[in-house]
Structure 1
Amino acid sequence: MNLEDLCMGCMSVKGSADICPTCHWQDGDEEESVLFLPPGTILNHKYLLGKVLGSGGFGVTYLALDLDLKIKLAIKEYLPNGFVTRNGTNQHVSVYSGNQESAYRDGLKKFLEEAMVLAKFSTMPGIVTVRDYFAENNTAYLVMYYLDGITFKEFLERNNEVIPYETGLTILLPALSALSEVHKHNILHRDISPDNIYITKDRQIKLLDFGAARQVLGEQSKSLDVILKRGYAPEEQYRTRGKQGPWTDVYAAGATFYRAIVGVTPPDSLERLAEDSLIAPSKLGITIPFSIERALLKALAVRSSDRYQTMQEFYEALITSSPGNEKSNPQSLPNEKTSTPPTPPASAGCLTLAMGLVGITFCATLIISVFF
């Protein structure tokens, strides 16, 4: 295989073409940041990096190709903002001195420890499979199978930012089920939001970007916006001594559900401590059963002691509150097929949800489809 013939935007063979005929990538389209490794970089003697798939406060994810097995992958690099630098000619990460260096090392250790644990969940449907991890360039890397699909955030954007509660449950419940299992191993996500829930092309739900390093680095960061997503983070995540547990992820999951069916995130949790301005979805004209709304509002309680204490409790409250859905276990998205942008139908329709063991049909005001 001639590596020069590969497209760094999709890893298909483009030959000598300047623009890839498959994805239309052109050399020079890469992200302009000296912190990111350039397309064509080879890691661990076998992973070829392509374009940047995404980046955040704690790392960057690259498209990659396993040169031995010839399979497409995604590789996440531990790269916390404000703690490291890298010049354009050196792959090696330089860490700022002082307290930041100590925090960086602790975060790096957590990153690798978490990768080790997540690798054990390779058979769990709701977790992105970790197939390898290694240290290099004074940092660390987590190797995952590449997912073809869109984030929940993109799904909302393609559906006019608001979806019926039935569709929201179809997407959220598999993620809650996976989180319930992960919590049993004392791992918290700490960053649940529409950005970190992924919908694959075959309509499976996957959780992305677990943040073990986030807790370690949070106290050292100069900006809480790097550590937290306002509207999704509960108040205990803002405090140095705030006690975090499964209830922390419960709040963020509730905020994600609220955002999906209302169209806006809940008010910032710190602001709610002084004066709770959260408005129930039904009071905003959202059609939602009282029992499901009650479960949602309990998950969004400002004080952690007032929330569900485990993700399993929240999951079961939503399941038992769903009409005709007491024993269902959703594992995939509605199986509509279309190739055009979403257009709300003039009349109401029925949305069939593929619910794993049990098929349930809900009546919805809109038929929502996933577009790729």
Structure 2
Amino acid sequence: MSIRLLNSGVIIGGKYQITAALGGNPVGITYAGTAVQTAQKVIIREFMPQDCCERAADGSIINVADVFEQEKQKYIAGAKILLANPGQAVTQVYELLEENGTVYTIMEYVEGISLDAYLTQNKNRFPVGRIQVLIQPLLADFARLQEMGFIHGNISPDNLIFSNAGSLKLTGFGYVQGKVSLKSDAYATVEMFQTQQPVSMSADVYALCASIYRCITGAAPQEAYRRMSQDMLQKPSALGVEIPTSTESALMMGMKLSAKERFQAMKAFARAFGQAQAATPEKKKGGNGGTIALIIVGCVLIIGLAVAAFILFGQMSGKEAASDNDQTEATTEASSESTTETTEEGSEYNQLLSEGRYDEVINQIVTLSETADLPDAMKEQYSQILQQALEAQYSDFESKVADSRNSNDYDAVFSQIAEEEDMYNQLQSNSLASAYIDMQKLTDKRDEMKHAHAEYLMNDAISAAAAKLDESGLNDAAAKLQEYADEGIITPEELEKSRESAYSTFVIAKITAFNNAGTDAETILQYINTNLANTGNNSKVLEFWDYYNALLGRNVMDATIRHQSGNGYILEYSNSTELTRADIDYLSQYEVKLAVYEIFARHGKIFSDQALNEYFQAFNWYQPSSDFDDSVLNEYEKHNLDLLVSYQRSMGYR
């Protein structure tokens, strides 16, 4: 069936206007839109299930299958649950509207990129610890929503949005059993492809686990329907992923083909997946007991091992060799003591991890590994704990950076990155820690934040400083952008456009303030003369210059025009050729002035000087427009404008 999209501009419910079609799936069509009254961005989802309905010429939906109404009511029930229970990680439903014979959900618009696109573009994958942290809000939302019978039915990396704030948001709820989109087939259970088996909440568990699998392995899992004939799904550890056994077991159980063998609800999976991340033992009493116990245990263990070795080699006093049984008992005792003490240490570290004291765990294990000759078994255990601590610390840094970026506090962003870099530099020389340090990832993060900072400066900060007449803030932003241009973060053209636009706003506002304060024309002219170049010879600033010169009775000129093309141009090719002084030396003062403003008039500028408007209106090529902006000038025009203004200065015209 050919699906006809609603056109941009269509109003839904008298409140929301469609601006663009974003895509479709077996459930319906997703549009970008805005609230008519507030201009707030929203997502508009139109329920239009595949092969169940058709679009009429007036845009309404015609039901062509018996299951349409049944599927519609199922969709409405899910939407109502989301509408009544907004959460942190599932996109909010603002409103539910029935119109055109179908239903529309008005949903939260999330700025960001789909997880699928993010992973594909960056050829990246997440450490297990990071994904455990990222999905916690989603698990919490689902634990609550599933208590009300909610089934999302379409969880996949394509519907998980990696927001600009650094969090995951799930969108795209709703499903039609038996119809799975190509983007979702690796994340759908067998029962989603069929119509005979009921779909339960365990289908969402499977889909989330499959999405996690994609995140940590870098590849989508084998499709469930293919696994039915030949199950080739590999464990993440078999693909080189470093993952605790219990975490992997929880993940693979969530991806069981049989619905009965999976976790039946997200809450159960969350409990298993969370426990896999860090067990939380009973707290030990005493303020510094943990640290003291750690030192004592380390010493006792080393002494115990030494004593065991001494016994084994028969070097006891009196030269009496112990019997085999004695040796066995001694070795068993030492081994038992070592195991008990190691378990206690692991419990101590897990306690610190559960309290978010990652740096303490890292420092203690690194110090111990550098000051004691640890047995291989202990090295392995400490290495695993250290990996957990570093992954958690990395996620903590990521969260802080995301929060600072979200609040546009880039000083804090780069301070946090520097703190992270300092920690990694200190750890690189440690044999246990170095395996888990990825300096390239840190470099990539810094570069990403520089690009984000540059975008913020160009699009927000520099113009905001100009509008507030904050000259210091304006200069600081311009200087930082210059640094980014020197580093190649932004292009020279981007720098020039942003800087000239901001300085134009600032200078025009400053001139207006001078005028309102009754500042004399001479002072204003001196200010313009000093700051004109920063504006890129802005047309409005040039007009101010001529206006205040006229107030002072300067530059009275003969309005005779002797040099003009048949089309009415003073310099016909000023928009397509780099002119030289020889091309303008023969022009009169008045003709040079017209040549300057002619460059702007080509693009429809409406001038403050009515005499200029009347002059240009005599030519067919002049099409006045209120949308004129100086940034439309091309490189030839900018060059020739600089040439003409410099010529005016040299001749004493300005």
Q: Pick the aligned partner of 2:90 from 124, 127, 131.
A: 127
Q: Pick the aligned partner of 1:199 from 162, 165, 177.
A: 162
Letter in 1 for 2:80: M
Q: Does 1:184 align with 2:249?
A: no
Q: Pick the aligned partner of 2:177 from 218, 223, 239.
A: 218
Q: Pick the aligned partner of 1:145 from 85, 105, 108.
A: 108
Relative distance call for 1:49 and 1:331 in structure 2 (3 A) is farther
Q: Does 1:113 align with 2:77?
A: yes
Point out where structure 2 has 5 or more consecutive residues left out of the alignment. 279-349, 357-391, 406-419, 425-435, 453-654
1:167 to partner: Cα distance = 2.7
Q: What are the equivalent positions in structure 2 for 1:316-331 lying under 5 Å apart?
A: 316-323=271-278, 324=350, 326=354
Q: CA RMSD in A?
A: 3.1
**Stretch of structure 1 that moved more, 257-266 or 77-86:** 77-86
Relative distance call for 1:225 and 1:313 in structure 2 (3 A) is closer
Higher fraction of strand: 1
Instruction: State the partner residue of 1:95.
Output: 63
Q: Does 1:82 align with 2:51?
A: yes
1:69 to partner: Cα distance = 2.9
Q: What are the equivalent positions in structure 2 for 1:157-168 lying under 5 Å apart?
A: 157-168=120-131
Letter in 2 for 1:248: A
SS in 2 for 1:251: helix
Instruction: State the partner residue of 1:27.
Output: none
Point out where structure 1 has 5 or more consecutive residues left out of the alignment. 1-32, 339-347, 352-362
1:204 to partner: Cα distance = 3.1
Letter in 2 for 1:202: A
SS in 2 for 1:140: strand
Q: Pick the aligned partner of 1:69 from 38, 50, 56.
A: 38
Instruction: State the partner residue of 1:288.
Output: 243
Instruction: Please list the CA deviations of residues 8-36 of structure 1 after superposition, one character each: whole Å capped at 9, or x if unmatched.
Output: xxxxxxxxxxxxxxxxxxxxxxxxx8621
Q: Does 1:274 align with 2:242?
A: no
Bigger Cα Rg: 2
Higher fraction of helix: 2
User: How many residues are paired up?
Assistant: 307
1:50 to partner: Cα distance = 0.2
Relative distance call for 1:331 and 1:210 in structure 2 (3 A) is farther
Instruction: Please list the CA deviations of residues 46-82 of structure 1 after superposition, one character each: whole Å capped at 9, or x if unmatched.
Output: 2111012332221112121212233221111111222
Instruction: State the partner residue of 1:154.
Output: 117
Taking structure 1 as the reference length, the TM-score comes to 0.73
Instruction: State the partner residue of 1:334.
Output: 399
Q: Measure the CA separation in 2 of the matches of 1:47 and 1:332.
A: 39
Q: Measure the CA separation in 2 of the matches of 1:174 and 1:103.
A: 35
Q: Measure the CA separation in 2 of the matches of 1:67 and 1:161.
A: 39
CA contact (8 A) 1:171 1:333 kept: no
CA contact (8 A) 2:156 2:187 kept: yes
SS in 2 for 1:279: coil
Instruction: Please list the CA deviations of residues 149-170 of structure 1 after superposition, one character each: whole Å capped at 9, or x if unmatched.
Output: 1221122123314222223223
CA contact (8 A) 2:205 2:265 kept: yes
Q: Measure the CA separation in 1 of the matches of 2:106 and 2:437.
A: 39
Q: What are the equivalent positions in structure 2 for 1:40-79 lying under 5 Å apart?
A: 40-79=9-48
SS in 2 for 1:277: coil
Q: Pick the aligned partner of 2:269 from 310, 314, 331.
A: 314
1:331 to partner: Cα distance = 11
What is the aligned-residue identity percentage? 25
Q: Measure the CA separation in 2 of the matches of 1:301 and 1:51.
A: 39
Relative distance call for 1:43 and 1:322 in structure 2 (3 A) is same
1:335 to partner: Cα distance = 4.4
Letter in 2 for 1:65: T
Bigger RCO (CA 8 Å, 6+ sep): 1
Instruction: Please list the CA deviations of residues 144-194 of structure 1 after superposition, one character each: whole Å capped at 9, or x if unmatched.
Output: 122111221122123314222223223333222211211100011121110
SS in 2 for 1:64: strand
1:326 to partner: Cα distance = 4.5
